[in-house]
């Protein structure tokens, strides 16, 4: 191998190292921007979140931000869309498993709260920081999903007509039990333990409620 070939090889190696370093720097900047945006959205909500504050806390210029994201909405998409896709998938699996009697409510609550615990910041943003965005209806849709799940369980147990106000109360109780856990600084193991206890409580209460509703129907 001649001298020119050695020089060329060294130049190629240097160029490859430079490309890798640039890619790593861009990726780090992107991750820093996403982390800073999470903090800003959690603190001030989407409407109150400042692009300059995000850039300052991420240690980047606004030019660097616009190189990665078209606008503030796009970085919110980056934060929430993957989590929502996973959430919908897990919800579908839980409902299918419980309806087919493969799982109990305790199993479903544990899986649900484990996922919410893992993505706690994203869910906190979703619950309190998305006013004025396309994500604003998501929390209500989640409540409707729970309500439909309750309807399905009632029908499966032989109760075809359920008081809408009762459904609203059941959904509210379930939501409050979730929030009571995720708003505390519990470990994952403690979260899962509490989730299982809540699920066991709900299973027992649901069975008692079904029997009561059936008795009332017969008594009419």
Q: Which of 9-23, 104-118, 133-147 has the highest mean pLDDT?
A: 133-147
Q: What is the reported pLDDT for 130?
A: 92
pLDDT band for position 58 (cuts 50, 70, 90): very high
Selection from 173, 153, 151 nearest residue 162 by Cα: 151
Residue 8 vs residue 185, higher pLDDT = 185
| Res 109 pLDDT > 90 | no
Structure tokens at 187: 């470990």
| Res 96 pLDDT > 50 | yes
Selection from 126, 122, 120 nearest residue 138 by Cα: 126
Q: What is the reported pLDDT for 88?
A: 86
């Amino acid at each position: 191998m001649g001298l020119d070939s050695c020089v060329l090889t060294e130049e190629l190696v240097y160029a490859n190292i430079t490309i890798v370093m640039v890619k790593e720097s861009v990726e780090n900047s992107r991750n820093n921007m996403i982390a800073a945006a999470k903090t800003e959205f959690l603190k001030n909500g989407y409407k109150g979140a400042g692009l300059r504050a995000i850039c300052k806390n991420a240690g980047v210029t606004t030019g660097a931000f616009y190189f990665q994201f078209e606008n503030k909405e796009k970085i919110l998409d980056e934060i929430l869309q993957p989590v929502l896709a996973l959430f919908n998938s897990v919800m579908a699996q839980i409902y299918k498993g419980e309806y087919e009697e493969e799982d109990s409510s305790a199993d479903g609550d544990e899986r649900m709260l484990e996922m919410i615990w893992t993505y706690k910041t994203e869910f906190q943003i979703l619950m309190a920081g998305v006013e004025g965005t396309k994500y604003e209806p998501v929390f209500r849709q989640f409540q409707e999903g729970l309500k439909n799940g309750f309807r399905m369980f009632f029908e499966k147990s032989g109760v075809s007509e359920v008081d809408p106000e009762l459904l609203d109360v059941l959904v509210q109780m379930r939501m409050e039990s979730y929030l009571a856990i995720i708003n505390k600084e519990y470990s994952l193991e403690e979260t899962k333990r509490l989730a299982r206890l809540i699920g066991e409580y709900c299973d027992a209460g649901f069975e008692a409620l079904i029997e009561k509703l059936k008795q009332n129907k017969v008594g009419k």
